């Protein structure tokens, strides 16, 4: 899956806390080992490259606090979708009265994303270092790596944990049901507490009261891997790449109509067009790109190619970085039909707990399907109006952000594929609407589906 150009091997000078990466300006940070060797890094290879766990660089009672300060100054933001500043989250969890728990979220419920899978496959110890360092920073008594049940990675990670020694905090793996919303932070907490893998209402948020009632830090595994790098090489190094509001590199999953779909590591601030070039460029004429996964937003191509992958730039373009997944739609595809299919999938993935989600998502999926199929006929305008009204009403009214993601996807489709909407409604659907699906959803027989 990972296709990245080979670079020359580097030697690493790593003394705890004073470490310098082999090539401070390399765009390969998390994937450097893979790029150099083409092999997953076992513990020995990991330590040759990055040195030992840098806990001794943060000694004494003030050490954890100093580590949080370093993460805070790095400007690292969460890579799980929300983009929340990691330093602030650490501070909030550490401020609780009881001993916290750390959850490393590697479930990757997002079908358009593979980056957590790739990262855990090629650099498991970087993630584990990050989980341990985060636990050390907040004073946690345990760190749990959350993966999907039946995911072979669970065995990989258990073996990696068994190979380690001397970690100041115990590590374990928890297997979570493979459902879209089950990897949401409160759903992980709920599952570990009660066995029910559905999100819960906020407040309380996990950082206030999470696993076993304790303050719980839930961070994406990529976030923790970056944290493990920041703890070694420092905030200034981390900010050498990326932009002021979105520093560092990020793992991007590129799928769809590119020649080399895969997971790539790029500095934040890289333009969408550059990322697509990295993925081998267009495999055919392109129409649009879905940014941020199935709860993300469509942007038109080629005009959207100039937009840079930063939180601020994407927000200005009416999109969001999400889990940094790009799904590329060719010109010979129907964005509306694809969106309707994904919406039906998202509606089916509702945890059926919140009214606006369990009724609203099937309703907007049905509305868009009616538009796509031209079934609305002369009432097409009315269906479109109803859909618009429903999109307004659903947002922000679920216990988790699942309905918001579906609304974001549908709204952006109406915006970007506006011409197609009029064409479908006038009874002249685009010739590709009946074609095979371009965006795989779990359960499909389509290639690429998991």
Partner 1 sequence: MSRPAAGRRGGDARLGVNPITCRAHGLCAELLPELIGLDEWGYPILAASPVPPQLLEMARDAVAACPTLALRLSGAR
Partner 2 sequence: MSQQVLWYISRGTGMVSLLLLSTTMVLGALTGGRFAHASWPRFTVSGLHRSMSLVGLGFVGAHVATAVIDSYAGIGWLDVLVPFTSVYRPLWLGLGAIAFDLVVALVATSLMRPRIDPRGWRIVHWAAYACWPLAVAHGLGAGPADARLTWVLAVNAGCVLAVVVAVTWRATASHPDTVARGGGGW
Q: How far is CA 5 from CA 27, 32, 115, 270, in A?
A: 11, 11, 17, 17
Nearest-approach distance from CB 101 to partner 2, in angstroms: 24
Of partner 2, partner 1, none, which one does residue 356 interact with (CB within 5 to 8 Å by kind)? partner 1
* Residues 179-208 within binding reach of partner 1 (CB under 8 A): 200-201
CB of 188 to partner 1, least distance (A): 16
| Positions 195 through 234 that interact with partner 2 (CB under 8 A) | 196-198
Tell me whether strands 297-300 and 325-330 are parallel, antiparallel or unpaired: unpaired
Specify the residue, 88 or 397, whose C-beta has the smaller distance to partner 2. Answer: 397
- Contact in structure between 265 and 28 (CB atoms under 8 Å): yes
Cβ proximity to partner 2, 301 vs 354, nearer residue: 354
| Least distance in angstroms from the C-beta of 349 to partner 1 | 16
What's the number of CA atoms in the CB half-sphere (13 Å) around residue 375? 7
Give residues with Cβ within 8 angstroms of 320, minimum separation 6. Answer: 83, 291, 292, 296, 297, 311, 314, 408
CB of 398 to partner 1, least distance (A): 6
CA distance 329 to 140: 44
Q: CB-wise, 131 or 351, nearer to partner 2?
A: 351
Least distance in Å: CB of 369 to partner 1? 18
Residue 250's DSSP bridge partners are 266
Query: 284-313: which residues touch partner 1 (CB under 8 A)?
Result: none
234: left (phi over 0), alpha (psi -120 to 50) or beta: left
Q: Give the nearer residue to partner 2 in terms of CB position, either 133 or 182.
A: 182
What is the smallest separation between the CB atom of 447 and partner 1, expressed in angstroms? 37
CA-to-CA distance for 242 and 248, rounded, in angstroms?
5
Residue 352 backbone zone (phi > 0: left; psi -120 to 50: alpha; other: beta): left
Q: Does 399 bind partner 1 (CB under 8 A)?
A: yes
Q: Binding partner 1 by CB under 8 A: which of 209, 212, 359, 450? A: 359
- Which one of residues 16, 174, 312, 393 is an interface residue with partner 1 (CB under 8 A)? 393
Torsion of CA 36, 40, 44, 45, to 10 degrees: 10
Strands 325-330 and 249-256: parallel
CB under 5 to 8 A by kind: which of partner 2, partner 1, none does 352 bind?
A: partner 2
- Judged on CB neighbours under 10 Å (0-12, 13-18, 19+), 183 is buried
348 interacts with, out of partner 1, partner 2, none, CB within 5 to 8 A per kind: partner 2
Our CB check for partner 2 shows the closer of 331 and 358 to be 358
**Binding status of residue 350 toward partner 2 by CB under 8 A:** yes
Closest distance to partner 2 from the beta carbon of 198 (Å): 6
Residue 315's alpha-carbon distances to 85, 297, 303, 309, 322, in angstroms, are 16, 10, 16, 10, 11
Question: For 133, phi and psi rounded to 5 degrees?
Answer: -65, -40
- Rounded to a whole number of angstroms, the minimum distance from the CB of residue 393 to partner 2 is 17
Rounded-to-integer distance, Cα 295 and Cα 439, Å: 13
- Residues 78-117 vs partner 2: string with x where CB under 8 A? ----------------------------------------
Shortest CB 383 distance to partner 1, Å? 14
The residue among 140 and 361 lying less far from partner 1, judged by its C-beta, is 361
DSSP string covering 227-274: HHHHHHHHHHHHTTSB-SSSBSEEEEEEEESBSS-EEEEEETT-BHHH
Position among 360, 405, 429, 437 found at the interface with partner 1 (CB under 8 A): 360
The set of residues, in sequence order, having a beta carbon less than 8 Å from that of 281 and lying 6+ positions away, is 258, 259
Closer residue to partner 2 in complex, CB, 154/361:
361
Q: Which is nearer to partner 2, 111 or 292 (CB)?
A: 111
Which residues within the stretch 317-356 sit at the binding site for partner 1 (CB under 8 A)?
353-356
Q: Residue 439 in contact with residue 341, Cβ under 8 Å?
A: yes
CB 128 within 8 A of CB 164: yes
HSE-CB of 73 using CA atoms within 13 angstroms: 12
Looking at the DSSP assignment, which residues form a beta bridge with residue 144?
A: 103, 172
In the complex, minimum distance from the CB of residue 17 to partner 2, in angstroms, rounded to a whole number: 46
359 binds partner 2 (CB under 8 A): yes
Interactions with partner 2, residue window 170-199 (CB under 8 A): 196-198
Size of interface with partner 1, in residues (CB under 8 A): 14
Binding residues (CB under 8 A) for partner 1: these are 200-201, 353-357, 359-360, 390, 393, 397-399
Binding residues (CB under 8 A) for partner 2: these are 196-198, 348-353, 355, 358-359
């Amino acid at each position: 899956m990972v296709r990245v150009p080979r670079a020359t091997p580097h030697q690493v000078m790593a003394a705890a806390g004073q470490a310098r990466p082999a090539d401070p300006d390399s765009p390969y940070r998390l994937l450097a080992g893979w790029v150099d060797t083409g092999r997953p890094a076992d513990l020995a290879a990991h330590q040759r490259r990055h040195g030992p766990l840098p806990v001794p660089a943060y000694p004494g009672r003030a050490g954890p606090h100093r580590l949080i300060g370093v993460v805070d100054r790095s400007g690292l933001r969460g890579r799980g979708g929300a983009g929340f500043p990691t330093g602030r989250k650490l501070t909030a969890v550490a401020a609780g009265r009881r001993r916290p728990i750390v959850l490393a979220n590697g479930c990757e419920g997002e079908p358009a994303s593979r980056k957590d899978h790739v990262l855990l496959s090629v650099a498991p110890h970087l993630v584990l270092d990050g989980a341990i360092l985060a636990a050390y920073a907040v004073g946690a008594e345990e760190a749990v790596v959350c993966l999907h049940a039946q995911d072979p990675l669970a065995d990989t990670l258990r073996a990696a944990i068994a190979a380690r020694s001397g970690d100041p905090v115990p590590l374990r793996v928890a297997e979570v049901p493979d459902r879209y919303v089950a990897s949401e932070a409160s759903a992980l907490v709920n599952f570990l507490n009660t066995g029910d893998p559905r999100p819960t209402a906020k407040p309380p948020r996990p950082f206030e009261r999470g696993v076993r009632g304790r303050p719980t830090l839930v961070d994406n595994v990529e976030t923790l891997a970056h944290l493990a790098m920041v703890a070694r090489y420092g905030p200034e190094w981390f900010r050498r790449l990326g932009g002021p509001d979105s520093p560092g590199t990020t793992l991007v999953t590129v799928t769809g109509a590119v020649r080399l779909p895969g997971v790539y590591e790029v500095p934040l601030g890289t333009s969408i067009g550059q990322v697509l070039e990295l993925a081998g460029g267009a495999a055919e004429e392109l129409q649009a790109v879905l940014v941020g996964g199935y709860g993300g937003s469509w942007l038109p191509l080629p005009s959207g190619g100039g937009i840079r992958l930063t939180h601020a730039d994407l927000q200005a373009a009416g999109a969001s970085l999400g889990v940094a997944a790009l799904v590329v739609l060719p010109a010979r595809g129907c964005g509306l039909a694809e969106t309707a299919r994904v919406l039906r999938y998202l509606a089916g993935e509702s945890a059926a707990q919140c009214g606006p989600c369990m009724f609203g998502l099937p309703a907007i999926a049905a509305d868009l399907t009616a538009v796509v199929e031209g079934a609305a006929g002369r009432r097409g305008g009315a269906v479109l109006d109803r859909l618009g009204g429903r999109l307004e009403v659903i947002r922000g009214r679920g216990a988790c952000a699942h309905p918001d993601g579906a609304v974001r996807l549908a709204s952006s489709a109406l915006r970007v594929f506006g011409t197609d909407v009029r064409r479908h409604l006038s009874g002249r659907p685009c010739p590709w609407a009946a074609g095979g699906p371009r965006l795989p959803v779990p359960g499909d027989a389509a290639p690429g589906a998991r």
